[in-house]
Amino acid sequence: MRKLFLGFIQIHILHHAKEHPIFGQWMHDELKEHGYDISSGTLYPILHNMEHDGLLVKEEQNVAGKIRKYYSTTPKGEMVLEEARKKAYELFKEIKD
C-alpha cells in the first residue's frame, strides 16, 4: 500500500507545484488535509528525488532569516503530470463502480 500511496503523493506534488511554487511544510499540510499521514522524513526525500529526476526545480529564498526551498514543476514534470492525469482518469473510469 505504501508504494501505491507514494505515487499518489508524487502526483499531488506535481499538481500543486505546477499551480505555484510549493515548500515542504505547506505541502505536508496540504497532503494532511487530503488524508495522507506522511512524516517530514518521508516528504523531503520525495521532493529531493523528484528534483533529482528532473520533475521539480528548486529555488531557495530567505524568509524571515531562514532559507526556504520552493519547488516548481519543470517541463518534464508537467509532461509526467499530464500523462499521470490521463492514466488516473482511465483507471477511475474502470474502478468507480
Residue type at 50? M
The pTM score is 0.90
As to burial, measured by CB atoms within 10 angstroms (0-12 exposed, 13-18 middle, 19+ buried), residue 1 is exposed
Q: Tell the CATH topology of 2-95.
A: Arc Repressor Mutant, subunit A (1.10.10)
pLDDT tens digits, one per residue of 14-68? 999 999 999 999 999 999 999 998 999 999 999 999 999 999 999 999 989 999 9
Phi and psi at 56, nearest 5°, equal: -125, 155
